[in-house]
């Protein structure tokens, strides 16, 4: 057997492309690379920007209504009901003379707020359960995953009806209700990912240097499942907006007079034949937002999902 | 007489499967002296890795059912999980077969190599990184300060294995367990990694357990060799003696199955006939007897125990314990 000296060994390794990473090239992390890929996706960037703009408008709603529309979301004006789009009501008024644009902007606060909060809640709960189930395996896994099966088998619509009777739907309770169903899917996703990641030797190697379970889960497993989470989050937003709108529309969600995109549609169906704008504007807003969220979600998946590389 | 660091006594590790209990480690005993290099050889699935993992108590989902692992006066199978974590990080380090997956892909290499320092020495991340860079340099990674900023995917297999060795050594453990450290690497890189292990053993005085199925590696690296078959130690002794005069037919067959420079031209390699036994239902008697060219009637009846044969060696074989020489039959 040949035993080259240390010096020779070093030279040989340096002179053996392409397996040697080039030391001159700046370190490209997974995150940098994914970010570059996302930036290159023009459609995704447009869709993402649209979401950001909508969110910004929703956050800054009082400013917009003060300087752009000059109306209050709840102010009735019974002398000017069913005004068609024009001046001074850019998108018309509803049956109580409330300004549609103002209510859309305020409704965005509720709808987008509920969507983001729901995503945050179901991701945190689902991720925790998925990590614990996947990492510990055996009876812990069985117990948690059977519970997830129960959650996912539950007819969601009845749960929503029941919950909205028990708790007065506010944006926060509504988010909690939707998340109480949505986390199950996330838990499954994360668990599956953990099962594959924990087979890799670095988990054993990290245990072999004396790391605790908590450290392994939080510092080593979690970053490895983050890509899946980012994808799940971005694809989830659109879906949740739709669910929320549907619940509002059915009267199970946010209650009038608080405006949400969904409950603006509830009222407008009765007036569709003479005041079509009351249907079009909330409908188009929901449609465009969900479309943008899904396009952005797809772009994020293309950029971040390690399996698509 | 050098100080004995690690003494394993009658270790049994089983894996419960739906078909029954797999006795992956079935009564293994051995010792490791300070500063020495011990080779554990055997075919795949003979219990080498599980033995090593059991020493570290990382054999999950397997279970250590009996036996002792004495390390510096303590039985590692008895101490608490918290104490065991301290042993793992600081006193016994382990490196694994596949360097491609033994580093976490989402962290910079330097961060990971310094992790034992942060975990066990309470060192802040700047000093841990400095320690990692020093150690990366010691295992022969060029421009370690630059390389520490790289991610594992920018490292070659050989460099990753060096990084793994560096990670194990940051806390200067007394024992390094290398589980097939070169199996996944190509031959030139193998030689370099063995070189690193050899210099680690020399410079740090780290006692090394080298697990491999490559007899050449053992011959070049280890003072003592232990041969395992079906979860048991079948032979042990100084490497030179074991290679020159194997006292177990399994060792003899293994040695005969590798190519030799001094062999006659066109002489075919001689494989060991048959397959390793099913560890759930071991054959009665000696586990090797169905494949053994020397078997006698007693071999299928009684299980042989490890006994001293000759000056330096131990073997578990009725044939050689009865004084028979293992020789090629015409």
Per domain, the residue ranges of chain B are 4-222, 229-260+268-321
Which residue among B89, B94, B191 sits closest to A3, beta carbon to beta carbon? B191
Of all residues in chain B, the one with the smallest CA distance to A208 is: B88
Of all residues in chain A, the one with the smallest CA distance to B147 is: A23
Q: Is the pLDDT of residue A149 over 80?
A: yes
pLDDT tens figures, B199-258: 888 888 899 999 998 888 899 889 999 999 999 999 999 999 999 889 999 999 888 888
pLDDT tens figures, B111-134: 999 999 998 888 888 999 999 999
Kindly list the residues from chain B whose CB atom is less than 8 angstroms away from the CB atom of residue A210.
Answer: 84-90, 116, 119-120
The pLDDT value given to residue A8? 41
Q: Which helix (H) or strand (E) holds B48?
A: helix B48-55
Kindly list the residues from chain B whose CB atom is less than 8 angstroms away from the CB atom of residue A135.
Answer: none
The pLDDT value given to residue B169? 87
Q: How do strand B37-41 and strand B20-33 relate by DSSP bridges?
A: unpaired
Kindly list the residues from chain A whose CB atom is less than 8 angstroms away from the CB atom of residue B120.
Answer: 210
**Chain B: closest CA distance from residue A238 (Å):** 29
pLDDT tens figures, A214-259: 999 998 899 888 888 888 888 888 889 888 888 888 888 888 788 8
Residue A64 lies in a domain: no
Residue A183 lies in a domain: yes
pLDDT tens figures, A24-51: 455 567 778 888 888 888 888 999 999 9
**Chain B: closest CA distance from residue A229 (Å):** 15
Of all residues in chain A, the one with the smallest CA distance to B57 is: A208
Query: Taking residues A125-129, what's their average pLDDT?
Result: 95
Q: Is the pLDDT of residue A19 over 50?
A: no
Q: Is the pLDDT of residue B307 over 60?
A: yes
| Coil/strand/helix, residue B94 | strand
Distances from the Cα of B189 to the Cαs of A10, A12, B137, B329, in angstroms?
Answer: 10, 9, 17, 38
Range of the domain at A116: 108-308
Asked if B26 contacts B54 with a C-beta cutoff of 8 angstroms, the reply is no
Kindly list the residues from chain A whose CB atom is less than 8 angstroms away from the CB atom of residue B102.
Answer: 200-202, 204-205
Peptide bond into A202 cis (omega under 30): no
Q: Is the pLDDT of residue A10 over 60?
A: no
pLDDT classification of A21: cutoffs 50, 70, 90: very low
Residue A26 lies in a domain: no
* Cβ distance of B119 and A28 shorter than 8 Å: no
The pLDDT value given to residue A78? 74
> Right CATH number for B4-222 from 1.20.210.10, 3.40.50.11540, 3.40.50.300, 2.160.20.10?
3.40.50.300
Distance, in Å, from the CA atom of A132 to the CA atom of A136, rounded to the nearest integer, reads 6
The pLDDT value given to residue A228? 86
Query: Taking residues A268-278, what's their average pLDDT?
Result: 79
Residue A49 lies in a domain: no
Closest CA to B150 of B161, B160, B140, B158: B160
Domain count, chain A: 1
Q: Is the pLDDT of residue B310 over 80?
A: yes
Mutation for testing the A interface, residue in B97, B99, B104, B139 having most A CBs under 10 Å:
B104
Which residue among A10, A13, A208 sits closest to B156, beta carbon to beta carbon? A13
CA atoms in the 13 A half-sphere facing the CB of B286? 29
Opening angle at CA B154, ends B149 and B155, nearest 5: 95
Which CATH number fits the domain that encloses residue A234?
1.10.3720.10
Q: How do strand B37-41 and strand B224-229 relate by DSSP bridges?
A: parallel
* Cβ distance of A210 and B88 shorter than 8 Å: yes
**Chain B: closest CA distance from residue A144 (Å):** 19
Of all residues in chain B, the one with the smallest CA distance to A138 is: B61
Q: In degrees rounded to 5, what are phi and psi of residue B9?
A: -125, 115
Q: What percent of chain A has pLDDT over 90?
A: 21
Distance, in Å, from the CA atom of B50 to the CA atom of A284, rounded to the nearest integer, reads 62
pTM above 0.90, yes or no: no
Distances from the Cα of B58 to the Cαs of A135, A191, A206, B30, B39, in angstroms?
Answer: 14, 22, 11, 19, 20
**Chain B: closest CA distance from residue A20 (Å):** 5
pLDDT tens figures, B289-300: 888 888 888 888
Of all residues in chain A, the one with the smallest CA distance to B142 is: A10
Kindly list the residues from chain A whose CB atom is less than 8 angstroms away from the CB atom of residue B166.
Answer: none
* Cβ distance of B194 and A2 shorter than 8 Å: no
The pLDDT value given to residue A307? 61
* Cβ distance of B106 and A21 shorter than 8 Å: no
| Coil/strand/helix, residue A131 | helix
Q: What percent of chain A has pLDDT over 70?
A: 89
pLDDT classification of A191: cutoffs 50, 70, 90: very high
Q: Is the pLDDT of residue A160 over 70?
A: yes
Q: Is the pLDDT of residue B97 over 70?
A: yes
Distance, in Å, from the CA atom of A94 to the CA atom of B94, rounded to the nearest integer, reads 72
The pLDDT value given to residue A200? 86
Asked if B206 contacts B166 with a C-beta cutoff of 8 angstroms, the reply is no
pLDDT tens figures, A205-220: 998 988 888 999 998 8
Q: How do strand B175-179 and strand B207-212 relate by DSSP bridges?
A: parallel
Which residue among B150, B154, B192 sits closest to A9, beta carbon to beta carbon? B192
Count of other CB atoms within 10 angstroms of residue B155 = 23
The pLDDT value given to residue B55? 92
| Coil/strand/helix, residue B216 | helix
**Chain A: closest CA distance from residue B159 (Å):** 8
Residue A213 lies in a domain: yes
Asked if B67 contacts B59 with a C-beta cutoff of 8 angstroms, the reply is no
* Cβ distance of B119 and A211 shorter than 8 Å: yes
Kindly list the residues from chain B whose CB atom is less than 8 angstroms away from the CB atom of residue A208.
Answer: 56, 58, 88, 93-94, 96, 168
pLDDT classification of A4: cutoffs 50, 70, 90: very low
| Coil/strand/helix, residue B309 | strand
Peptide bond into A295 cis (omega under 30): no
Of all residues in chain A, the one with the smallest CA distance to B116 is: A209
Query: Taking residues A65-92, what's their average pLDDT?
Result: 75
Residue A67 lies in a domain: no
**Size of chain A, expressed as the number of residues it contains:** 309
Distances from the Cα of A308 to the Cαs of A37, A41, A227, A302, B104, in angstroms?
Answer: 12, 15, 11, 6, 20
The pLDDT value given to residue A12? 41
Of all residues in chain A, the one with the smallest CA distance to B108 is: A29
Query: Taking residues B188-197, what's their average pLDDT?
Result: 88
pLDDT classification of B7: cutoffs 50, 70, 90: very high
* Cβ distance of A21 and B155 shorter than 8 Å: yes
Q: Is the pLDDT of residue A71 over 80?
A: no
**Chain A: closest CA distance from residue B23 (Å):** 20
* Cβ distance of A14 and B142 shorter than 8 Å: yes
DSSP annotation string for A174-240: HHHHHHHHHHHHHHHHHHHHHHHHTTSHHHHHHHHTT--HHHIIIIIIHHHHHHHHHHHHHHHHHHH
* Cβ distance of B94 and A215 shorter than 8 Å: no
The pLDDT value given to residue B6? 93
In sign, the C-alpha dihedral spanning B147, B151, B155, B158 is positive
Question: What's the mean per-residue pLDDT of chain B?
Answer: 88
Peptide bond into A18 cis (omega under 30): yes
* Cβ distance of B195 and A9 shorter than 8 Å: yes
Of all residues in chain B, the one with the smallest CA distance to A224 is: B106
Mutation for testing the B interface, residue in A4, A8, A139, A208 having most B CBs under 10 Å:
A208
Of all residues in chain B, the one with the smallest CA distance to A30 is: B106
Q: In degrees rounded to 5, what are phi and psi of residue B38?
A: -110, 130
pLDDT tens figures, B22-34: 889 999 999 999 8
* Cβ distance of B156 and A21 shorter than 8 Å: yes
């Amino acid at each position: 057997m040949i035993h080259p000296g240390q010096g020779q060994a070093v030279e040989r390794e340096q002179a053996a492309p392409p397996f040697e990473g080039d030391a001159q090239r700046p370190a490209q992390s997974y995150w940098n690379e994914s970010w570059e890929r996302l930036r290159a996706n023009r459609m995704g960037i447009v869709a993402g920007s649209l979401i950001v703009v909508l969110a910004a408008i929703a956050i800054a709603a009082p400013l917009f209504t003060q300087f752009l529309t000059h109306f209050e979301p709840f102010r009735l004006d019974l002398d000017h009901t069913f005004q068609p789009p024009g001046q001074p009501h850019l998108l018309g008024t509803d049956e109580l003379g409330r300004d549609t644009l103002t209510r859309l902007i305020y409704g965005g606060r509720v709808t987008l707020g509920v969507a983001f909060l729901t995503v945050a809640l179901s991701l945190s709960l689902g991720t925790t359960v998925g990590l614990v189930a996947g990492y510990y395996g055996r009876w812990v896994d069985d117990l948690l995953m059977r519970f997830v099966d129960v959650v996912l088998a539950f007819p969601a619509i009845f749960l929503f009806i029941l919950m909205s009777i028990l708790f007065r739907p506010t944006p926060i309770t509504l988010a909690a209700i939707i998340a109480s169903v949505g986390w199950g899917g996330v838990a499954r996703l994360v668990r599956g990912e953990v099962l594959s990641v924990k087979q890799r030797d670095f988990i054993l190697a990290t245990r072999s240097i004396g790391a605790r379970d908590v450290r392994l889960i939080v510092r080593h497993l979690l970053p490895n499942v983050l890509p899946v989470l980012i994808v799940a989050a971005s694809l989830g937003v659109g879906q949740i907006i739709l669910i929320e709108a549907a619940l509002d529309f059915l009267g199970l969600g946010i209650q009038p007079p608080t405006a949400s995109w969904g409950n603006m549609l509830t009222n407008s169906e009765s007036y569709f034949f003479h005041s079509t704008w009351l249907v079009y504007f909330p409908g188009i807003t929901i449609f465009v937002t969900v479309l943008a969220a899904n396009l952005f979600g797809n772009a994020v998946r293309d950029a971040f999902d390690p399996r698509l590389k | 007489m050098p100080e004995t660091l690690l003494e394993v006594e009658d270790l049994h590790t089983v894996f419960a499967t739906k078909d029954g209990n797999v006795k992956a480690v079935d009564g293994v005993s051995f010792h490791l002296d300070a500063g020495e290099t011990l080779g554990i050889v055997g075919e795949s699935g003979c219990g080498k890795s599980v033995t090593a993992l059991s020493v570290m108590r990382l054999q999950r989902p397997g279970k250590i059912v009996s036996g002792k692992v004495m390390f510096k006066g303590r039985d590692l199978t008895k101490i608490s999980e918290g104490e065991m974590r301290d042993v793992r990080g600081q006193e016994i380090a382990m490196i694994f077969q596949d360097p491609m997956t033994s580093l976490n892909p989402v962290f910079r290499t330097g961060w990971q190599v310094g992790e034992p320092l942060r975990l066990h020495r309470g060192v802040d991340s700047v000093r841990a990184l400095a320690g990692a860079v020093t150690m990366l340099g010691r295992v022969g990674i060029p421009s370690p300060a630059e390389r520490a900023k790289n991610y594992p995917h920018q490292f070659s297999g050989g460099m990753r294995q060096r990084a793994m060795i560096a990670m194990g050594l940051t806390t200067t453990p007394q024992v390094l367990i290398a589980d097939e450290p070169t199996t996944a690497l190509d031959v030139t890189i193998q030689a370099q990694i063995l070189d690193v292990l050899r210099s680690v053993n020399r410079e740090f005085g780290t006692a090394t357990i080298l697990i491999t199925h490559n007899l050449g590696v053992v011959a070049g690296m280890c003072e003592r060799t232990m041969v395992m078959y079906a979860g048991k130690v079948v032979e042990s002794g100084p490497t030179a003696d074991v290679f020159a005069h194997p006292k177990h037919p399994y060792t003899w067959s293994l040695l005969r199955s590798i190519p030799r420079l001094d062999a006659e031209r066109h002489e075919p390699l001689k494989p060991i006939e048959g397959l390793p036994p099913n560890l759930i239902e071991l054959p009665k008697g000696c586990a090797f007897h169905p494949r053994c060219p020397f078997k006698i009637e007693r071999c299928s009846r009684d299980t042989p125990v490890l006994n001293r044969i000759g000056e330096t060696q131990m073997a578990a074989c009725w044939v050689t314990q009865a004084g028979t020489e293992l020789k090629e039959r015409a």
